[in-house]
Amino acid sequence: MRMLTTDEVARRLGVKRTTVYAYVSRGLLAGRRNANGKETLFAEADVRAFESARGRAAERPGAPAVHTGITLITTNRLFYRGYDVSALARDERYEAAAGLLWTGELGDPAPFPPVPPRLLTLARAVTAPLPATARLTDRLRIVVAALGATDPLRLDTTPAAVVATARTLIHTMVAALPERAGPAGDGLAALLWSRLTATAPSGADVSALNAALVLLADHDLAASTFAARVAASTRAHPYAVVGAGLAAMDGPLHGAASGLAAEMLRAAIDSGDPLGAIADRLRTGGGVPGFGHPLYPEGDPRAAVLLGLLPADSAEATAVAAIATAMHRRAGVAPNIDLALAAFTLRHDMADDAGEAIFAVARTAGWIAHAIEEYADQPSRFRPSGRYAGLPPLNGGTLHP
C-alpha cells in the first residue's frame, strides 16, 4: 500500500497543508503517524477515494443550483443577509437574528410570543415517557413531530405563516425541555439556560449563550440545512422541514461534534495535561475534534467570538489555549465552533449534550429561513441521478437470483 506525505496530498488535491489537516480533523480524510511520529501519512487509496468523492460533489451536472440570499461565507467572515455575524452575536438577540434570516430585515428583538398552554402541555406529555438518559435533541425531535401533528394549518407555507409558526415552534421546543433551574431572565437565551444547567448565570453568561445561538443560527448549505431544503422542495410543512434538519444533524460529524470536543477538553482539564489529551485522541485513530474548518482556512470566526467571551483565567480558556497552541504548531489549524461550544458548556457545568441542544435550537432558525426561500422556488427540484455500480442484469434483463 503506497503512502503519501501531507505535502504530496496537498499538491494532489491542489490545497494547502492546513486544508489537508482540516480534512483530517473533520473526519473527511484518514491519516496516520509514521514510525517516528513526526509526519502524517495517507494511504493513496484513501486519497484517491476522497478526490473522487470531492470531484463528484463538484460536478453534479444534474443537480440544481441553490441560489440563496441568506448566508455568505468568505475566507474568514460570516454574514447573514449582509450583516457581519460576529457583530450580530455581540449586539443582537437571537430573536432579532432569526427575524433577519426569515425576512431580510433586522427589526424588533422582542421575545417570541408566549407558548400557548395547550402546546406546552402536549409537548411535555409526549416527552414524559422518555428515560432520563434521553438526549435533549431526542426530546426536541418528538416535540416538533407532536406540534406538527396537531397544527391544522401546518401546510400553509406562505412566508408570514411560516414565520409565525417558527416563532411559536422554537419557543415551545425550549420551554418543553426539563427545567434545571429557575428563570434566568427574559428572552430565549435565558429560557434555554435554565434547561441546560443548574448554575445561576450572570447577565454576561446569558449574553454569551445568546451569542452562541446567533453564531450557530445558519451556516449556508451544511448537511442538515440541505436536508431541510430537500424536504421543503417537496412542500413538506415547516415542522417536517425542522424534523429533517434535526435528523441530519444527529451525528458526530455535525451537530454532535461539540460533544467529542468536550470529552477531550474535559480530559485535558482533569489531567492537567493538554498534550496528553491530544495524544489520546491520536492514539485511538481519530482526528482531534474541534479544530480546522474547510470553509475557514484562516480560522473559524465564530469560534473566535465565543472563545473571546470566556474568562481569560478560567480552566477552560487555559486548556483551549494550550491545545490550540499545540495544534497550530503541529498542523497549522485553529479552533472551530465545536471546540468553542465545548469550552462554553464545560465552563458553566452544562449537561453533556448541551452543545448539541444549543446547535439544534439555534439552527432551527436557519432551517426555517431556507424553507421559506425554497417554498418560493421550483418544487421537487432535488433529484440527482445515481451512478449504478452493482451487478449487471442477467439474461437480457431478468431479475438476478
Q: What is the CATH number of the domain that holds 53?
A: 1.10.1660.10
Residue at 23 is within a domain: yes
Amino acid at 323: I
C-beta separation of 326 from 316 below 8 A: no
Specify whether the CB–CB gap between 23 and 294 falls below 8 A.
yes
Residue 131 forms part of a structural domain: yes
Cell of 396: 437480457
C-beta of residue 339 within 8 angstroms of C-beta of residue 305: no
Q: Does 206 fall in a domain?
A: yes
Residue 182 CB contacts under 8 Å (≥ 6 apart), including other chains: 194
Q: Is 11 inside a domain boundary?
A: yes
Rounded to whole angstroms, the Cα distance separating 89 from 100 reads 13
Please tell me the predicted confidence (pLDDT) of residue 398: 58
Q: Are residues 230 and 96 in the same domain?
A: yes
Tell me if 156 is assigned to some domain: yes
In a domain, 147, yes or no: yes
Grid coordinates 442484469 are at which residue? 393
| 52/174 same-domain check | no
| Residue 205 Cα distances to 32, 179, 187, 189, angstroms | 40, 18, 13, 10
Q: Residue 40: helix, strand or coil by DSSP?
A: strand
Q: Tell me, yes or no, whether 281 lies in a domain.
A: no
Of 42, 63, 84, which residue constitutes the final position of a domain?
63
Q: Which domain holds residue 86?
A: 71-254+353-375
Cell of 72: 455568505
3-state secondary structure of 291: strand
CA distance 46 to 344: 35
Q: Are 208 and 309 in contact (CB under 8 A)?
A: yes
Query: What's 80's domain CATH number?
Result: 1.10.580.10
Shared domain check, 82 and 57: no
Instruction: Using DSSP bridges, classify how beta strands 71-73 and 3-5 pair: parallel, antiparallel or unpaired.
Output: unpaired
- Write down the pLDDT at residue 57: 45
Q: Are residues 33 and 150 in the same domain?
A: no
Question: In terms of domains, do 147 and 244 share one?
Answer: yes
The C-alpha atoms of residue 223 and residue 254 are separated, in whole angstroms, by 8
Please identify, among 46, 63, 80, the residue that sits at the C-terminal boundary of a domain. Answer: 63
Q: Indicate the residue among 35, 63, 91 that finishes a domain.
A: 63
Q: Are residues 214 and 146 in the same domain?
A: yes
Domain count, the chain: 2
Contact predicate 147/338, CB 8 Å = no
Residues 34 and 118 in one domain: no
Beta carbons of 349 and 197 less than 8 angstroms apart: yes
DSSP 235: T
Considering the domain architecture, whether residues 107 and 166 belong to the same structural domain is answered as yes
Alpha-carbon gap, residue 388 to 75, rounded angstroms: 37
Q: Nearest CA to 176 among 186, 191, 162?
A: 191
- Is residue 31 located within the same domain as residue 161? no
Sequential pLDDT tens for the chain (401 residues): 688 888 888 888 777 777 787 677 666 787 777 766 667 888 887 787 777 655 444 444 555 668 899 999 987 899 999 999 999 999 999 999 999 999 999 987 888 999 999 999 999 999 999 999 999 999 999 999 999 999 999 999 999 999 999 999 999 999 999 999 988 889 999 999 999 999 999 999 999 999 999 999 999 999 999 999 999 999 999 999 999 999 999 877 787 889 989 999 999 999 999 999 999 888 876 678 999 888 898 899 999 999 999 999 999 999 999 999 999 998 889 999 999 999 999 999 998 899 999 999 999 999 999 999 999 998 988 888 888 888 887 766 555 55
Q: Is residue 187 part of a domain?
A: yes
Asked whether residue 178 falls in the same domain as residue 249, the answer is: yes
Determine the pLDDT at residue 287.
77
C-alpha to C-alpha distance for 384 and 382, rounded to whole angstroms: 6
Residues 59, 122 within the same domain? no
Residues 232, 110 share a domain = yes
